[in-house]
Amino acid sequence: MEQDPIISVRGLRKSYADTTVLKDLSLEIRRGETAALLGRSGSGKSTLLRCLNLLEDWEQGEILLDGRPLGFHRGKDGQLARWSARQQAELRTRIGMVFQQFNLFPHMTAIENVMVGPRQIRYLSEAESRVIATRLLTQVGLLEKSDQYPAHLSGGQQQRIAIARALAMEPTILLLDEITSALDPELVGEVLDVVADLKERGLTMVFVTHEIQFAHDVADRVFFLDEGRVLESGPPAEVLDNPRSEQLQRFLARFAAHRGHRPRHEPAASR
């Protein structure tokens, strides 16, 4: 794996009306790595992901993608100018995002959901789009559900299709925002299998998760966020097995207490 950062976040600050969500947050994501963001709710994990996709503005600091500032460019007068809507949209084609609530388009079948990116944004032909969608539905193990509407699919199936929909844009980075939090426990495994499979394919992934064991097994590095800052980071074996800060110790203890020790992530039998 190359060591150069694909994403550098430097001193990011973001606040809503009266709360500061990100306080001088800095981190680097390396090309091809799988990074897990952990932390209590409100620690800024999801906000950070949304900033990376420009779905959220920030007040201070910068994000570099491949060394170039994200969301802003230097104008002729030397001042920083915000990207146009076209530039923002273009960036989002390269950074895929999967949401907690799947957000499939309910008026489209599974395959239409996956085809919409290639067809409407990459302007590929109907036939080419169908080939891509078919391949991706096969990859997530749902080809036989191609013509079903989302309402007829389980949460786990919907989420796998949402991943396929994001992959259809052939992004270089995939952001996964608590993608198993809205799922019944027995459906979590099938979605995590898909993510583990993507890691094998070398896609750069940043995911926010509450599945500590999964982060432990799959992430190359974990970042523990606390009150809008990165408090601890490093390989999961170091950070999760030897938490240094009191906050991370408490965070991990709460998981152990509330959830019991989850079994190691096993591939689901269905795939």
Partner 1 sequence: MDQIIRSLPVLLEALQQTLVLSGLAVVFSALLGFAIGEVSTLAGPVAGWFVRRYIELVRGIPLLVFIFLSYYLLPAVGVQTEPFSTAVMSLVLYFSAFVAEIVRGAVQSIPQNQINSGLALGMRRLKVERIVVLPQALRIAVPALLNLCSIVVKSTSLVSIIGVWELTYATREIVMRTVLPFEFFIFAMIIYFVVCYTIVRASKMLERKMALAHR
Shortest spacing between CB 102 and partner 1, in angstroms: 9
Among 57, 59, 90, 147, binds partner 1 (CB under 8 A): 90
Among 11, 75, 106, 267, binds partner 1 (CB under 8 A): 106
Q: How many chain residues bind partner 1 (CB under 8 A)?
A: 28
The sign one gets for the Cα dihedral 96, 63, 57, 14 is: positive
**Residue 57 near residue 43, CB atoms below 8 Å:** no
- Interaction between residue 92 and partner 1 (CB under 8 A): yes
Shortest spacing between CB 133 and partner 1, in angstroms: 13
Shortest spacing between CB 148 and partner 1, in angstroms: 10
Task: Build a one-symbol-per-residue string for 34-63: x at contacts with partner 1 by CB under 8 A, - elsewhere.
Answer: -------------------x-x--------
Question: Tokens 């981190």, residue?
Answer: 27
Task: Build a one-symbol-per-residue string for 156-175: x at contacts with partner 1 by CB under 8 A, - elsewhere.
Answer: ---------xx--x------
**Residue 7 near residue 63, CB atoms below 8 Å:** yes
**Which range of residues in 65-73, 83-91, 180-188, 197-205 is near partner 1 by CB under 8 A?**
83-91
How far is residue 25's CA from residue 12's CA, in Å, rounded to a whole number?
Answer: 5
- Interaction between residue 83 and partner 1 (CB under 8 A): no
DSSP 141-186: T-GGGTT--GGGS-HHHHHHHHHHHHHTT--SEEEEESTTTTS-HH
Dmax of the chain from CA atoms?
60
Shortest spacing between CB 85 and partner 1, in angstroms: 6
The answer for residues whose C-beta is within 8 angstroms of residue 89's C-beta and 6 or more apart is 121
- Interaction between residue 125 and partner 1 (CB under 8 A): no
Helix (H, G, I), strand (E, B) or coil at 231: strand
Each as own residue / partner, the long-range contacts of residues 122-127 (CB below 8 Å, 24 or more positions apart, any chain) are: 122/93, 122/169
Shortest spacing between CB 229 and partner 1, in angstroms: 26
Instruction: Compute φ and ψ for 74, nearest 5 degrees.
Output: -85, 120
- Interaction between residue 103 and partner 1 (CB under 8 A): yes
Would you tell me which residues interact with partner 1 (CB under 8 A)?
53, 55, 85-86, 89-93, 96-97, 99, 101, 103-107, 116-117, 120-121, 149, 151-152, 165-166, 169
